Amino acid sequence: MKTTYRAMQVTTPGRLELVERPTPEPGVNEVLIAVEACGICGADASDIDRADPALDPPRVPGHEVVGCIVALGPNTPSIWKVGQRVGVGRLGGHCNECGECRRGRFNLCRNRPIVGSSCDGGYAEMMIARAAGLVSIPDELSSEEAAPILCAGVATFNALKKSGAEAGDTVAILGIGGLGHMALQYARRMGFRVVAVGRGEDIATDSLNLGAHRYIDMESENAADVLNGLGGAKAILTTTGNPTAVTALMPALQPEGRLIVLGVGKDPLPVSTGYLVGAERGIIGSITGSPYENEKTLDFSVLTGVRPMIETMPLERAQEAVQKMRSGDAKFRTVLTMGDQINAHQ
């Protein structure tokens, strides 16, 4: 086992620094992972900006983590083995004690660690993870492909399952970025009539190639009118935190339709009670998912050929990668790679 590993830590809020750290030992029900890939997510920006400067050592961000187990802590369940390839998403493992866990709602656990925020994440060559948060990675997926599925993938896959839409129904995806480009693929393979809604014609070709039957440019078309001309949407999945854009599209939601909110913004979403009550429409939020749901998402991705569109960058360029994500220049997901980790346990 190497005695040290490299990590990108938040030394001051907003800034990442490459450091060497001593290799830790996993505790009870924990494993040590040699990280192979870690996706860059929009939530990472908030984690980096809001990191507590008093933490010692400083926080390591990143929650789309794939790597191999190199050490097991005491009482780790026997399903996990040294050398096994695993992943860790945003939710770092449930407590199995709170009311939500007792109801089997592990993704809503009240005591879960938030990877990259309340505990260290995957912008590093090594990472400690709770066994309860581990996800088995299919052999058919590379580590770089699997990483974004652990967040952007499961978030959109689960949201579509909650939409109430059935095969043949029209589903609109608002916001074609890191989340939206996954949602388009899943929606098409679930049998929906898929309408992509974005800004600018530069994304039109990509949207159609990813699975949309129709692309609507909000800059040149009235998106709600166009969608209503198609019969309206049974579900609208929004990945943007811009409430103005969401509000503009809501008149196209069919009676008994659902708006599923994935994008988080600072401003409230205005909606009239009459709009909801008069046609029995609903608005729900959706959060990523449990390890079991993550494994279902990975398996569905393998079965149907869904893959994230990624570019890779080495760990030491994490600051540049995050800035590229902030600027909107990433297309569509950037994944950090750690180099050869095959012998990391030696």
214: left (phi over 0), alpha (psi -120 to 50) or beta: beta
Contact between residue 165 and residue 234 where contact means Cβ atoms under 8 Å apart? yes
What type of residue sits at position 236? I
Tell me the pLDDT tens digit for each residue of 44-75: 999 999 999 899 999 999 999 999 999 999 99
The reported pLDDT for the residue numbered 343 is 54
The reported pLDDT for the residue numbered 232 is 97
Global confidence as pTM: 0.94
Closest to 260 (Cα-Cα) out of 173, 332, 181: 173
Per-residue pLDDT, averaged over 275-292, amounts to 93
186 secondary structure, DSSP code? H
Closest to 62 (Cα-Cα) out of 47, 82, 77: 47
**Alpha-carbon distance 178 to 310, whole Å?**
9
Cα three-residue angle 34-35-40, rounded to 5 degrees: 165
Helix (H) or strand (E) holding 197: strand 193-198
Q: Locate CATH 3.90.180.10 in the chain.
A: 4-151+289-337
**DSSP H stretches of helix in the chain:** 42-49, 99-102, 143-148, 154-161, 180-189, 204-210, 223-229, 243-249, 273-278, 291-304, 318-327
**Alpha-carbon distance 194 to 123, whole Å?**
35
Q: Which fold has domain 4-151+289-337?
A: Quinone Oxidoreductase; Chain A, domain 1 (3.90.180)
**Is residue 271 exposed (0-12), middle (13-18) or buried (19+ Cβ within 10 Å)?**
middle
Contact between residue 7 and residue 34 where contact means Cβ atoms under 8 Å apart? no
Contact between residue 283 and residue 257 where contact means Cβ atoms under 8 Å apart? no
What tokens were used for 102?
A: 């007792």
Q: Locate CATH 3.40.50.720 in the chain.
A: 163-285
pLDDT over 90 percentage in the chain? 91
pLDDT at 344 over 70: no
pLDDT at 319 over 90: yes
Q: Which fold has domain 163-285?
A: Rossmann fold (3.40.50)
Angle between helix 154-161 and helix 180-189 axes, rounded to 10 deg: 50
pLDDT at 265 over 90: no
